[in-house]
Amino acid sequence: MKRLLLTAAMVAMVSCARLPKPAEMTQYEGERKARAGEELKLEHPELVQQADAQYSKAVTAHDDKEEDLLAHHAHLTSLWWQSANLRRDTRLATESEAEIAKETAQLETSLAEAKKRQKLAKSTLDRMAQIIALEGKVTDSQEVNTARGAINEALAALKEAQAVDADTHAATSFAAAEAKLKAATDALGKNKTKDAQSFAIEAKAAAETAKREAQPKYATTEADQAKLNRQKALFDALGSASGAQRSMVENGVRVTIVEVFAATGGITILPVMEGSFSKIAETAKAFPEYALVIEAHTDSKGNKSKNLQLSESRAKSVAAFLAGQGVAPDRMTSLGKGSVSPVADNKTQAGRAQNRRIELLFVPSSK
């Protein structure tokens, strides 16, 4: 009897013993409960919901002591979780890249300035070297000192002219100034002090002319360069919006995003796409000198006028979303284009998917 009871107790214990949880499951439990897990759910709800669903099934299988099912669902939990984590890491890498792109743009500007300093100093030194070479060849006298003074003034004028890129923007006048300076130093080397002084005065005048000629072009070039730098920075910043295809257009940037809405008749931005539009809104706020033209396009299925109406509603929906994120409404123009501007073949499913798109054009604001 005792033996029978003992056997029964052992059988009961074995049947009550819980299955060990797979490592994938315990790891998920730990990570999911953490704050980062909750943040990941907000960032990739569709993936984390899949992981959660598989985890629930794994828990049931664990309770039911279904070993195979437990292993299966724990594995799927892990795969969906891994997927969400990779997506977050991708976003972080993209954001880091955008930051580095900004840093690189600043470095490029600094490098251009440093190269200019280097070029200016080198040219000035070369001119000075011609004058220094005369030392010892000419004897000090009142006339020599006067000529030297005039040459130094011409040298300084040339330096100022080159600082506004006169060697590029007023090449003829600048070359004339350089030639006159050389003539002045040559004359001084031959102790022709009067000639030296005369050439030096002419060199200074030519350098001042070159500076005057170059200044407007230099200012324009600087402004153009600044605009171009901003355009490049805008292009780089828009790279953080996932799913967005960017292209540089005249003075601005075009962003194209496909499948923003539910395929049939939807006018509300899909939740999975909201992140992209939030990034675009952030970028738009950081570049207030640009206006936004929002164009919505449909595929060719259905009635043309209904497609036009639908696209108008969709463009307005995007504008409203961006406005909700803080973009000033008076910077935005929304246009419904219907199906008249396809970019791909409407006969194929893939082509229609490309045609259902939103195009955002960042153009310099006229305000």
**Which member of 8, 34, 107, 340 binds another protein (CB under 8 A)?**
107
What are the φ and ψ backbone dihedral angles of 252, each rounded to 5 degrees? -150, -165
Least distance in angstroms from the C-beta of 69 to another protein: 9
Is 175 near another protein (CB under 8 A)? no
191: left (phi over 0), alpha (psi -120 to 50) or beta: left
Question: Hey, is 14 helix, strand or coil?
Answer: helix
Give, as ranges, the residues between 180 and 239 that touch another protein (CB under 8 A): none
The 336-355 contact track toward another protein, x by CB under 8 A, reads -------------xx--xx-
Least distance in angstroms from the C-beta of 57 to another protein: 10
Give, as ranges, the residues between 266 and 305 that touch another protein (CB under 8 A): 266, 270, 272-273, 276
| Token pair of 81 as six digits | 């979780």
| Token pair of 227 as six digits | 């605009």
Q: What is the DSSP letter of 296?
A: E
Give, as ranges, the residues between 26 and 55 that touch another protein (CB under 8 A): 44, 46-47, 50, 53-54
Least distance in angstroms from the C-beta of 108 to another protein: 7
User: Of the candidates 289, 346, 358, 263, which has an alpha carbon nearest to the alpha carbon of residue 319?
Assistant: 358
Q: How far is CA 166 from the centre of its chain?
A: 33
What are the φ and ψ backbone dihedral angles of 118, each rounded to 5 degrees? -60, -45
What are the φ and ψ backbone dihedral angles of 201, each rounded to 5 degrees? -65, -45
Q: In what order do the strands lie in the sheet with 332-338?
A: 245-249, 252-258, 357-364, 290-297, 332-338
Residues in contact with 158: Cβ distance below 8 Å, sequence separation at least 6, in sequence order: 124, 127, 174, 177, 178, 181, 203, 207
How far apart are the C-alpha atoms of 356 and 315, rounded to whole Å?
12
Yes or no: say if 326 and 305 are a contact pair by the CB < 8 Å rule: no
Least distance in angstroms from the C-beta of 165 to another protein: 16
Nearer to another protein by Cβ, of 74 and 291: the residue is 74
**Which member of 11, 34, 114, 286 binds another protein (CB under 8 A)?**
114
Helical pair 35-43 and 67-132, crossing angle rounded to 10 deg: 80
Least distance in angstroms from the C-beta of 341 to another protein: 18
**Which member of 8, 12, 125, 343 binds another protein (CB under 8 A)?**
125
Is 364 near another protein (CB under 8 A)? no
Give, as ranges, the residues between 64 and 93 that touch another protein (CB under 8 A): 72, 75-76, 79-80, 82-84, 86-87, 89-90, 93
Is 115 near another protein (CB under 8 A)? yes
Nearer to another protein by Cβ, of 130 and 333: the residue is 130
Q: Point out which residues bind another protein (CB under 8 A).
A: 44, 46-47, 50, 53-54, 72, 75-76, 79-80, 82-84, 86-87, 89-90, 93-94, 96-97, 100-101, 103-104, 107-108, 110-111, 114-115, 117-118, 121-122, 124-125, 128, 131-132, 148-149, 152-153, 155-156, 159-160, 242-243, 245, 258-259, 262-263, 266, 270, 272-273, 276, 349-350, 353-354
